[in-house]
Amino acid sequence: MGGFLTKLKKIIGSDRHSDHDNNEQRGHQPVMTSDPNVRLLGVYRVEDTDEDVHLFELLIDASPKDVNVGAILQKDPALRKDNWQVAYDERYLNEDGTEVIGDYFDRNELKGDRTRITFFLYFVDFNKPLTTQYGDIILPPAADMPERLSEIIEFEPVD
């Protein structure tokens, strides 16, 4: 794993905090992680808020009860671990991503061996990977939120 992180640091370079800085120039594509298969379907800008927050959408080849949402985070060595940003306000979606079928409280009741999930993450550094229990994912530049998600997912700031 150390070799992977060394290569990742060489690819990433500096610690700029913009979703437009170098990602487009580097041509990053979403990364598939170790088994079970995890795909980052998108990172989306959240409109109509002053908050520095993005919506993430993942597809994971594991049942919802086996996905540890608390392990989805972005590490920041400059901060204590309890200050790292973690997935917030997760929503489980149907197979085609057009309907919310549950939230945190429903995850153990949801059936199936695949999980399509959205969540919010504050203060995203697009030059650092998203960490999951299955491995790290290099982030693409943020995109506009698809209409199918903006119609079913509403951002509620942390109190």
Q: Which domain holds residue 36?
A: 2-150
- Please report which helix (H) or strand (E) contains residue 24, including its range: helix 23-26
Q: How confident is the model at residue 28 (pLDDT cuts 50, 70, 90)?
A: very low
Examine residue 106 and state whether it is found in any structural domain, yes or no. Answer: yes
Examine residue 8 and state whether it is found in any structural domain, yes or no. Answer: yes
Rounded-to-integer distance, Cα 76 and Cα 74, Å = 7
Helices (H) and strands (E) in the chain, counts: 3, 10
What's the pLDDT score for residue 7?
Answer: 38
Q: Does the structure show a pLDDT above 50 at 19? A: no
- Alpha-carbon torsion angle 120, 11, 84, 150, nearest 10: -10
Residue 6, helix vs strand vs coil: helix
Q: Does the structure show a pLDDT above 50 at 5? A: no
Q: Record the tokens describing residue 66, joined without a space.
A: 């086996």
Q: Look at the chain and report how many structural domains it folds into.
A: 1
What's the pLDDT score for residue 93?
Answer: 98
Residue 8, helix vs strand vs coil: helix
Examine residue 139 and state whether it is found in any structural domain, yes or no. Answer: yes
Examine residue 159 and state whether it is found in any structural domain, yes or no. Answer: no
Cβ-based neighbours of 22, under 8 Å, separated by 6 or more: 12, 13, 16, 127
Question: Which of 102, 40, 100, 104 shows the shortest CA–CA distance to 70?
Answer: 104
Examine residue 46 and state whether it is found in any structural domain, yes or no. Answer: yes
What's the pLDDT score for residue 92?
Answer: 98
What's the pLDDT score for residue 33?
Answer: 53
Q: Which residue has the higher pLDDT, 101 or 14?
A: 101
Examine residue 155 and state whether it is found in any structural domain, yes or no. Answer: no
Q: Does the structure show a pLDDT above 80 at 25? A: no
76-130: pLDDT as tens digits: 999 999 999 999 999 999 999 999 999 999 999 999 999 999 999 999 999 999 9
Q: How confident is the model at residue 27 (pLDDT cuts 50, 70, 90)?
A: very low
Examine residue 158 and state whether it is found in any structural domain, yes or no. Answer: no
What's the pLDDT score for residue 125?
Answer: 96
Mean pLDDT of the chain: 83
Examine residue 23 and state whether it is found in any structural domain, yes or no. Answer: yes
Q: Does the structure show a pLDDT above 50 at 45? A: yes
What's the pLDDT score for residue 53?
Answer: 98
